[in-house]
Protein backbone atom coordinates (compact mmCIF):
# COMPACT_ATOMS: atom_id res chain seq x y z
CA UNK A 1 0.00 0.00 0.00
CA UNK A 2 1.24 3.49 -0.84
CA UNK A 3 2.28 5.56 2.15
CA UNK A 4 3.65 9.05 2.01
CA UNK A 5 6.15 8.09 4.72
CA UNK A 6 7.76 5.40 2.52
CA UNK A 7 7.69 7.64 -0.50
CA UNK A 8 9.36 10.53 1.29
CA UNK A 9 11.89 8.25 2.97
CA UNK A 10 13.07 7.32 -0.52
CA UNK A 11 13.27 10.99 -1.57
CA UNK A 12 15.18 11.87 1.60
CA UNK A 13 17.61 9.05 0.90
CA UNK A 14 18.14 10.34 -2.64
CA UNK A 15 19.06 13.75 -1.20
CA UNK A 16 21.54 12.10 1.19
CA UNK A 17 23.00 9.89 -1.55
CA UNK A 18 23.55 12.89 -3.78
CA UNK A 19 25.56 14.53 -0.98
CA UNK A 20 23.07 17.40 -0.81
CA UNK A 21 21.81 16.91 2.73
CA UNK A 22 21.78 20.11 4.76
CA UNK A 23 22.34 19.31 8.41
CA UNK A 24 21.68 22.00 11.00
CA UNK A 25 24.14 22.66 13.77
CA UNK A 26 22.51 23.87 16.94
CA UNK A 27 24.05 26.95 18.50
CA UNK A 28 24.10 27.10 22.27
CA UNK A 29 25.02 30.78 22.34
CA UNK A 30 23.69 33.99 20.80
CA UNK A 31 24.73 34.82 17.25
CA UNK A 32 28.13 36.46 17.67
CA UNK A 33 31.67 36.40 16.31
CA UNK A 34 32.45 33.67 18.86
CA UNK A 35 29.76 31.03 19.20
CA UNK A 36 29.29 27.68 20.81
CA UNK A 37 27.50 24.75 19.25
CA UNK A 38 26.48 21.51 20.89
CA UNK A 39 29.83 20.11 19.71
CA UNK A 40 32.35 22.92 19.58
CA UNK A 41 33.38 26.45 20.37
CA UNK A 42 34.16 28.37 17.23
CA UNK A 43 34.74 31.69 15.59
CA UNK A 44 31.84 32.19 13.26
CA UNK A 45 32.67 33.06 9.65
CA UNK A 46 29.39 32.13 8.04
CA UNK A 47 26.77 34.50 9.44
CA UNK A 48 25.37 37.60 7.73
CA UNK A 49 26.18 39.52 10.89
CA UNK A 50 28.24 42.02 8.93
CA UNK A 51 28.19 44.85 11.47
CA UNK A 52 28.01 42.64 14.55
CA UNK A 53 24.58 44.01 15.51
CA UNK A 54 22.84 40.64 16.01
CA UNK A 55 23.82 40.66 19.66
CA UNK A 56 24.70 44.32 20.15
CA UNK A 57 23.93 45.41 23.74
CA UNK A 58 21.98 48.50 22.64
CA UNK A 59 19.87 46.46 20.24
CA UNK A 60 19.16 43.92 22.99
CA UNK A 61 18.23 46.73 25.40
CA UNK A 62 15.89 48.36 22.88
CA UNK A 63 14.23 45.00 22.23
CA UNK A 64 13.82 44.21 25.95
CA UNK A 65 12.39 47.65 26.67
CA UNK A 66 9.91 47.18 23.81
CA UNK A 67 8.82 43.85 25.22
CA UNK A 68 7.77 45.62 28.42
CA UNK A 69 6.26 48.67 26.75
CA UNK A 70 4.63 47.19 23.65
CA UNK A 71 4.05 43.54 24.52
CA UNK A 72 5.04 40.35 22.76
CA UNK A 73 2.80 39.90 19.73
CA UNK A 74 0.48 41.83 17.45
CA UNK A 75 -2.05 39.07 16.76
CA UNK A 76 -3.19 41.00 13.72
CA UNK A 77 -2.25 41.97 10.22
CA UNK A 78 -1.27 45.59 9.87
CA UNK A 79 -4.50 46.97 8.41
CA UNK A 80 -6.85 45.45 10.99
CA UNK A 81 -5.25 46.34 14.32
CA UNK A 82 -1.58 45.44 13.85
CA UNK A 83 0.11 48.82 13.40
CA UNK A 84 1.87 50.38 16.37
CA UNK A 85 3.81 53.59 16.38
CA UNK A 86 6.93 51.36 16.27
CA UNK A 87 6.05 50.04 12.81
CA UNK A 88 5.42 53.51 11.45
CA UNK A 89 8.69 54.75 12.93
CA UNK A 90 10.63 51.81 11.52
CA UNK A 91 9.23 52.43 8.05
CA UNK A 92 10.07 56.13 8.30
CA UNK A 93 13.56 55.32 9.49
CA UNK A 94 14.24 53.03 6.50
CA UNK A 95 12.87 55.66 4.09
CA UNK A 96 15.07 58.30 5.65
CA UNK A 97 18.20 56.11 5.68
CA UNK A 98 17.79 54.98 2.08
CA UNK A 99 16.54 58.38 0.89
CA UNK A 100 13.21 57.13 -0.51
CA UNK A 101 9.70 58.54 -0.21
CA UNK A 102 8.00 55.66 1.59
CA UNK A 103 8.63 52.16 2.92
CA UNK A 104 6.41 49.15 3.57
CA UNK A 105 7.47 46.44 6.03
CA UNK A 106 7.00 42.72 5.51
CA UNK A 107 7.73 39.75 7.76
CA UNK A 108 10.78 38.97 5.64
CA UNK A 109 12.47 40.07 2.45
CA UNK A 110 11.31 36.77 1.00
CA UNK A 111 7.78 38.09 1.49
CA UNK A 112 8.67 41.56 0.21
CA UNK A 113 10.01 40.04 -3.01
CA UNK A 114 7.05 37.67 -3.11
CA UNK A 115 4.57 40.53 -2.83
CA UNK A 116 5.93 43.31 -4.98
CA UNK A 117 5.81 42.10 -8.60
CA UNK A 118 2.26 40.79 -8.86
CA UNK A 119 0.93 44.16 -7.73
CA UNK A 120 3.05 46.38 -9.94
CA UNK A 121 3.49 44.33 -13.12
CA UNK A 122 0.76 42.49 -14.98
CA UNK A 123 -0.23 41.55 -18.50
CA UNK A 124 1.42 43.81 -21.05
CA UNK A 125 4.39 44.53 -18.75
CA UNK A 126 7.91 43.09 -18.85
CA UNK A 127 10.17 41.91 -16.03
CA UNK A 128 13.82 41.43 -16.94
CA UNK A 129 15.72 39.50 -14.31
CA UNK A 130 19.37 38.58 -13.71
CA UNK A 131 19.91 34.82 -13.99
CA UNK A 132 21.53 34.66 -10.54
CA UNK A 133 18.83 36.55 -8.67
CA UNK A 134 17.75 35.30 -5.26
CA UNK A 135 15.10 32.58 -5.10
CA UNK A 136 12.57 34.99 -3.57
CA UNK A 137 12.83 37.33 -6.57
CA UNK A 138 12.40 34.39 -8.91
CA UNK A 139 9.32 33.20 -7.01
CA UNK A 140 7.84 36.69 -6.76
CA UNK A 141 8.31 37.28 -10.49
CA UNK A 142 6.58 33.95 -11.23
CA UNK A 143 3.47 35.22 -9.45
CA UNK A 144 3.14 38.15 -11.85
CA UNK A 145 1.35 37.90 -15.19
CA UNK A 146 3.98 40.09 -16.86
CA UNK A 147 6.20 38.68 -19.62
CA UNK A 148 9.45 37.40 -18.18
CA UNK A 149 12.93 37.79 -19.59
CA UNK A 150 16.21 36.61 -18.13
CA UNK A 151 19.73 37.90 -18.79
CA UNK A 152 23.00 36.13 -18.05
CA UNK A 153 24.50 37.22 -14.73
CA UNK A 154 25.64 40.86 -14.91
CA UNK A 155 25.93 40.58 -18.70
CA UNK A 156 25.06 44.00 -20.08
CA UNK A 157 25.05 42.87 -23.72
CA UNK A 158 22.48 40.25 -22.86
CA UNK A 159 20.49 42.76 -20.81
CA UNK A 160 20.34 45.02 -23.86
CA UNK A 161 19.10 42.11 -25.99
CA UNK A 162 16.37 41.39 -23.47
CA UNK A 163 15.38 45.06 -23.32
CA UNK A 164 15.10 45.03 -27.11
CA UNK A 165 12.95 41.90 -26.95
CA UNK A 166 10.70 43.52 -24.34
CA UNK A 167 10.09 46.70 -26.31
CA UNK A 168 6.46 47.68 -26.57
CA UNK A 169 5.66 46.64 -23.02
CA UNK A 170 3.68 49.14 -20.93
CA UNK A 171 5.97 48.98 -17.88
CA UNK A 172 9.39 47.39 -17.95
CA UNK A 173 11.52 46.68 -14.89
CA UNK A 174 15.07 45.38 -14.59
CA UNK A 175 15.47 43.31 -11.44
CA UNK A 176 18.79 42.50 -9.82
CA UNK A 177 20.37 41.51 -6.54
CA UNK A 178 22.66 44.32 -5.38
CA UNK A 179 25.20 41.69 -4.35
CA UNK A 180 25.23 38.11 -5.62
CA UNK A 181 25.54 36.12 -2.48
CA UNK A 182 27.54 33.15 -3.68
CA UNK A 183 30.24 35.31 -5.30
CA UNK A 184 30.22 38.57 -3.35
CA UNK A 185 30.08 40.45 -6.67
CA UNK A 186 28.21 43.75 -6.90
CA UNK A 187 25.71 44.20 -9.73
CA UNK A 188 26.92 46.76 -12.31
CA UNK A 189 24.24 49.24 -11.28
CA UNK A 190 25.58 52.22 -13.16
CA UNK A 191 25.42 50.39 -16.48
CA UNK A 192 22.07 48.88 -15.56
CA UNK A 193 20.68 52.37 -14.86
CA UNK A 194 22.14 53.67 -18.15
CA UNK A 195 20.37 50.90 -20.07
CA UNK A 196 17.19 51.40 -18.08
CA UNK A 197 17.15 55.07 -18.99
CA UNK A 198 17.86 54.33 -22.65
CA UNK A 199 14.93 51.91 -22.82
CA UNK A 200 12.54 53.66 -20.41
CA UNK A 201 12.70 50.84 -17.86
CA UNK A 202 12.57 50.94 -14.07
CA UNK A 203 15.23 49.36 -11.85
CA UNK A 204 14.52 47.25 -8.76
CA UNK A 205 17.45 46.21 -6.55
CA UNK A 206 17.31 43.62 -3.76
CA UNK A 207 20.02 44.95 -1.49
CA UNK A 208 19.81 42.37 1.28
CA UNK A 209 23.54 41.62 1.26
CA UNK A 210 24.57 45.29 1.19
CA UNK A 211 22.27 47.48 3.25
CA UNK A 212 24.04 48.85 6.31
CA UNK A 213 27.61 48.27 5.21
CA UNK A 214 28.19 48.66 1.45
CA UNK A 215 28.74 52.28 0.35
CA UNK A 216 30.43 54.97 2.42
CA UNK A 217 27.29 55.66 4.44
CA UNK A 218 26.08 52.05 4.44
CA UNK A 219 23.23 52.82 2.05
CA UNK A 220 24.06 49.82 -0.07
CA UNK A 221 24.94 49.15 -3.68
CA UNK A 222 23.08 52.18 -5.12
CA UNK A 223 25.31 54.37 -2.97
CA UNK A 224 28.47 52.38 -3.77
CA UNK A 225 27.71 52.62 -7.50
CA UNK A 226 26.73 56.31 -7.38
CA UNK A 227 23.14 55.71 -8.52
CA UNK A 228 21.15 56.53 -5.36
CA UNK A 229 18.68 58.67 -7.31
CA UNK A 230 18.50 56.44 -10.37
CA UNK A 231 17.21 53.23 -8.75
CA UNK A 232 13.41 53.16 -8.56
CA UNK A 233 12.71 50.45 -6.01
CA UNK A 234 14.80 48.79 -3.34
CA UNK A 235 13.92 45.68 -1.39
CA UNK A 236 15.96 44.46 1.55
CA UNK A 237 16.09 42.50 4.75
CA UNK A 238 16.36 43.34 8.43
CA UNK A 239 17.67 39.79 8.89
CA UNK A 240 21.32 40.40 8.03
CA UNK A 241 23.39 43.52 8.82
CA UNK A 242 20.48 45.50 10.33
CA UNK A 243 20.22 43.49 13.55
CA UNK A 244 19.72 40.12 11.91
CA UNK A 245 16.32 39.33 13.47
CA UNK A 246 13.70 39.24 10.74
CA UNK A 247 11.67 41.48 8.52
CA UNK A 248 11.96 42.91 5.05
CA UNK A 249 10.82 45.94 3.13
CA UNK A 250 10.12 47.58 -0.17
CA UNK A 251 11.12 51.23 -0.33
CA UNK A 252 10.48 53.70 -3.14
CA UNK A 253 7.86 56.12 -4.48
CA UNK A 254 4.90 56.89 -2.18
CA UNK A 255 2.33 55.69 -4.75
CA UNK A 256 4.05 52.31 -5.09
CA UNK A 257 4.07 51.79 -1.34
CA UNK A 258 0.46 52.96 -1.04
CA UNK A 259 -0.65 50.43 -3.66
CA UNK A 260 1.36 47.63 -2.03
CA UNK A 261 -0.44 48.35 1.26
CA UNK A 262 -3.76 47.87 -0.56
CA UNK A 263 -2.92 44.85 -2.69
CA UNK A 264 0.26 43.01 -1.72
CA UNK A 265 -0.76 39.58 -0.48
CA UNK A 266 2.09 38.78 1.96
CA UNK A 267 1.39 42.18 3.58
CA UNK A 268 -2.38 41.91 3.68
CA UNK A 269 -2.59 38.29 4.77
CA UNK A 270 0.28 37.90 7.23
CA UNK A 271 0.88 39.04 10.78
CA UNK A 272 2.60 42.32 11.64
CA UNK A 273 6.29 42.26 12.59
CA UNK A 274 6.57 41.64 16.35
CA UNK A 275 7.15 44.80 18.45
CA UNK A 276 10.40 43.44 19.89
CA UNK A 277 11.76 42.93 16.39
CA UNK A 278 10.55 46.33 15.20
CA UNK A 279 12.18 48.11 18.16
CA UNK A 280 15.44 46.16 17.88
CA UNK A 281 15.60 46.83 14.14
CA UNK A 282 14.96 50.55 14.68
CA UNK A 283 17.90 50.68 17.07
CA UNK A 284 20.05 48.63 14.67
CA UNK A 285 19.35 51.09 11.85
CA UNK A 286 20.18 54.01 14.14
CA UNK A 287 23.52 52.35 14.95
CA UNK A 288 24.18 51.36 11.32
CA UNK A 289 23.66 54.93 10.13
CA UNK A 290 26.53 56.11 12.32
CA UNK A 291 28.67 52.99 11.99
CA UNK A 292 31.55 54.49 10.03
CA UNK A 293 33.94 52.76 12.43
CA UNK A 294 32.14 49.44 12.02
CA UNK A 295 32.23 49.72 8.24
CA UNK A 296 35.93 50.59 8.38
CA UNK A 297 36.61 47.58 10.62
CA UNK A 298 34.67 45.36 8.24
CA UNK A 299 36.67 46.64 5.27
CA UNK A 300 39.93 46.15 7.20
CA UNK A 301 39.03 42.59 8.17
CA UNK A 302 37.97 41.77 4.63
CA UNK A 303 41.11 43.10 2.98
CA UNK A 304 43.37 41.52 5.60
CA UNK A 305 41.69 38.14 5.10
CA UNK A 306 41.93 38.41 1.34
CA UNK A 307 45.61 39.39 1.48
CA UNK A 308 46.65 36.67 3.92
CA UNK A 309 44.74 33.97 2.04
CA UNK A 310 46.17 35.02 -1.29
CA UNK A 311 49.68 34.99 0.22
CA UNK A 312 48.97 31.47 1.50
CA UNK A 313 48.18 30.38 -2.06
CA UNK A 314 44.40 30.02 -1.85
CA UNK A 315 42.26 30.73 -4.88
CA UNK A 316 39.76 33.54 -4.05
CA UNK A 317 37.15 35.21 -6.18
CA UNK A 318 38.22 38.85 -6.54
CA UNK A 319 36.37 41.71 -4.88
CA UNK A 320 35.96 43.82 -1.79
CA UNK A 321 32.69 42.52 -0.34
CA UNK A 322 32.92 40.67 3.01
CA UNK A 323 31.55 37.59 1.26
CA UNK A 324 34.85 35.98 0.26
CA UNK A 325 34.59 32.72 -1.69
CA UNK A 326 37.61 30.41 -1.31
CA UNK A 327 37.48 28.24 -4.41
CA UNK A 328 38.01 24.50 -4.75
CA UNK A 329 37.55 23.96 -8.46
CA UNK A 330 37.43 20.72 -10.38
CA UNK A 331 35.79 17.37 -10.04
CA UNK A 332 37.01 16.68 -6.53
CA UNK A 333 36.39 20.23 -5.30
CA UNK A 334 33.06 19.58 -3.58
CA UNK A 335 34.54 16.82 -1.42
CA UNK A 336 37.69 18.85 -0.67
CA UNK A 337 35.72 21.94 0.35
CA UNK A 338 33.37 19.93 2.58
CA UNK A 339 36.24 18.10 4.28
CA UNK A 340 38.27 21.25 4.78
CA UNK A 341 35.26 22.98 6.36
CA UNK A 342 34.81 20.01 8.72
CA UNK A 343 38.46 20.00 9.76
CA UNK A 344 38.37 23.76 10.27
CA UNK A 345 35.65 23.33 12.86
CA UNK A 346 38.01 21.08 14.79
CA UNK A 347 40.41 24.05 14.68
CA UNK A 348 37.71 26.31 16.10
CA UNK A 349 36.59 28.03 12.90
CA UNK A 350 33.07 27.67 11.55
CA UNK A 351 32.73 28.00 7.77
CA UNK A 352 30.44 26.31 5.27
CA UNK A 353 31.18 24.66 1.94
CA UNK A 354 28.87 25.13 -1.03
CA UNK A 355 28.76 22.89 -4.05
CA UNK A 356 26.48 22.04 -6.98
CA UNK A 357 23.56 22.78 -7.39
CA UNK A 358 23.90 25.85 -5.13
CA UNK A 359 26.88 26.95 -7.24
CA UNK A 360 27.80 25.78 -10.77
CA UNK A 361 29.32 22.32 -11.24
CA UNK A 362 33.09 22.34 -10.70
CA UNK A 363 33.03 25.62 -8.73
CA UNK A 364 32.77 24.37 -5.15
CA UNK A 365 33.81 26.86 -2.54
CA UNK A 366 33.95 27.75 1.11
CA UNK A 367 32.12 31.04 1.50
CA UNK A 368 33.77 33.08 4.25
CA UNK A 369 31.84 36.04 5.60
CA UNK A 370 33.73 38.65 7.55
CA UNK A 371 32.16 40.79 10.26
CA UNK A 372 33.07 44.04 11.98
CA UNK A 373 32.78 42.00 15.19
CA UNK A 374 35.82 39.89 14.26
CA UNK A 375 39.13 40.94 15.77
CA UNK A 376 42.36 40.95 13.79
CA UNK A 377 43.34 37.83 15.72
CA UNK A 378 40.05 36.12 14.72
CA UNK A 379 40.89 36.74 11.07
CA UNK A 380 44.43 35.39 11.52
CA UNK A 381 43.03 32.32 13.30
CA UNK A 382 40.72 31.70 10.36
CA UNK A 383 43.61 31.84 7.89
CA UNK A 384 45.71 29.52 10.07
CA UNK A 385 42.80 27.07 10.23
CA UNK A 386 42.51 27.11 6.42
CA UNK A 387 46.23 26.35 6.08
CA UNK A 388 46.13 23.54 8.66
CA UNK A 389 42.99 21.97 7.19
CA UNK A 390 44.38 22.14 3.66
CA UNK A 391 47.48 20.38 4.81
CA UNK A 392 45.45 17.68 6.63
CA UNK A 393 42.99 17.10 3.80
CA UNK A 394 45.09 17.69 0.70
CA UNK A 395 48.57 17.10 2.10
CA UNK A 396 49.80 20.42 0.65
CA UNK A 397 51.19 23.51 2.42
C1 LIG B 1 19.34 38.61 -1.89
C2 LIG B 1 18.39 38.11 -0.85
N3 LIG B 1 17.10 38.46 -0.92
C4 LIG B 1 16.21 38.05 -0.01
C5 LIG B 1 16.58 37.24 1.03
C6 LIG B 1 15.53 36.80 2.02
O7 LIG B 1 15.61 37.60 3.15
P8 LIG B 1 14.78 37.23 4.45
O9 LIG B 1 15.65 36.34 5.26
O10 LIG B 1 14.48 38.54 5.08
O11 LIG B 1 13.56 36.52 3.99
C12 LIG B 1 17.90 36.86 1.17
C13 LIG B 1 18.31 35.97 2.28
O14 LIG B 1 18.94 34.98 2.13
C15 LIG B 1 18.84 37.29 0.20
O16 LIG B 1 20.13 36.93 0.28
Show the CA angle centred on residue 210, arms to residues 195 and 334, nearest 5°.
Answer: 95
299 found inside a domain: yes
CATH number at residue 213: 3.40.640.10
Cα(158) to centroid of ligand 1, in Å? Answer: 25
> Are residue 146 and residue 282 in the same domain, yes or no?
yes
Burial environment of residue 346 by CB neighbours within 10 A (0 to 12, 13 to 18, 19 or more): middle
pLDDT one-digit tens code per residue, 68-115: 999 999 999 999 999 999 999 999 999 999 999 999 999 999 999 999
Pick 78 or 38 by higher pLDDT: 78
Task: Count the neighbouring beta carbons within 10 Å of the beta carbon of residue 70.
Answer: 17
**Which atom in ligand 1 lies closest to the alpha carbon of residue 247?**
10
Q: Residue 262 is part of which domain span?
A: 57-289
Report in angstroms the alpha-carbon separations of 388 from 287, 348, 379.
37, 12, 14
The secondary structure of 236-281 as a DSSP string is: EESSSSS-SSS-EEEEE-HHHHHHHHHH-HHHHTSPPPPHHHHHHH
Task: Catalytic residue, from 56, 240, 321, 374: name it.
Answer: 240
Q: Is 114 within 8 Å of 124 (Cβ atoms)?
A: no
> Are residue 141 and residue 156 in the same domain, yes or no?
yes
- 66 sits in which H/E element: helix 57-70
5 found inside a domain: no
20, pLDDT greater than 90 = no
> Are residue 47 and residue 61 in the same domain, yes or no?
no
Alpha carbon nearest to ligand 1 atom 7, residue: 109
| pLDDT at 397 (0 to 100) | 77
CATH number at residue 346: 3.90.1150.10
Cα(2) to centroid of ligand 1, in Å? Answer: 37
> Are residue 245 and residue 198 in the same domain, yes or no?
yes
> Are residue 124 and residue 269 in the same domain, yes or no?
yes
Does the C-beta of 181 come closer than 6 Å to ligand 1? yes
The total number of structural domains in the chain stands at 2
Task: Catalytic residue, from 181, 264, 281, 371: name it.
Answer: 181
> Are residue 163 and residue 278 in the same domain, yes or no?
yes
Strands 323-329 and 248-252: unpaired
Cα 250 off chain centre by: 14
pTM: 0.97
Query: Rounded CA gap, 207 and 240, in Å?
Result: 11
pLDDT one-digit tens code per residue, 122-145: 999 999 999 999 999 999 999 999
Cα(113) to centroid of ligand 1, in Å? Answer: 9
Query: Rounded CA gap, 356 and 358, in Å?
Result: 5
Amino acid sequence: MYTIKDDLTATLQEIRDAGLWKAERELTSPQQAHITTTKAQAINFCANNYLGLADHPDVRDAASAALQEWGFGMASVRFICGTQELHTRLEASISDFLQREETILYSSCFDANGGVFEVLFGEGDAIISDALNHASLIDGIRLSKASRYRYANADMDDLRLQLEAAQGARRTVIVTDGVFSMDGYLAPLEQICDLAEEYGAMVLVDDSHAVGFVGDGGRGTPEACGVMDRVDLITGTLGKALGGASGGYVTGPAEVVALLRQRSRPYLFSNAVAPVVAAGSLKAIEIARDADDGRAALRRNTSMFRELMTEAGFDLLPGTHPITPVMFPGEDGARQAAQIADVMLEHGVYVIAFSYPVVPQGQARIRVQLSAAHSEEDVRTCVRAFIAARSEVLGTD
